Amino acid sequence: MHEDLQTTFAKAQASIGDGPVVMVNLLSFRDPPVYPADFEDRKVTGRAAYYEGYAGAFREIAADLGVTAELIYAGRHLATLLPAARKLWDDLVIVRYQSFADLRSIVATQDYCTRAEPHRIAALSDWQFIATKP
């Protein structure tokens, strides 16, 4: 995980605490995705890079670590009703974890850095990642 993400996640851990956490992802895709020149597992669209590349690798890493990441919802943004001038997101994804520490354990792995993160970076032109407590 990049140094700035480590710092951000450490600060978030202090405020989020223990117990289940639900993460909300607001996604805007690039088309085509922008990969590093030496990355081999390229996907054709930003959406494919995110769902097939990033999410696929993320699920495998979580399973290898014994971490449960429960997909609650994934869907396309249809309309922003109010306020009308807000940014339009392409998709929204909601995932529940047993703890924020579980999420941190995934993104702290070298496997995440080499297999998952390049897809996320290539796929997304903009992104918001919001932690909530049930």
Taking CA 98 as the corner, what is the angle to CA 94 and CA 99, rounded to the nearest 5 degrees? 95
Percent of the chain whose predicted confidence (pLDDT) is above 90: 78
> What is the reported pTM?
0.90
Q: 72-126, pLDDT tens digit by residue?
A: 999 998 888 777 766 779 999 999 999 999 999 999 999 999 999 999 999 999 9
Distance CA 1, CA 16 (A): 19
pLDDT value, residue 85: 62
DSSP code of residue 86: S
**Which one, of 34, 37, 56, lies nearest residue 46 by Cα?**
34
Residue 25 in this model has a pLDDT that exceeds 60: yes
CA distances from 109 to 6, 60, 106, 118 (A): 11, 12, 6, 13
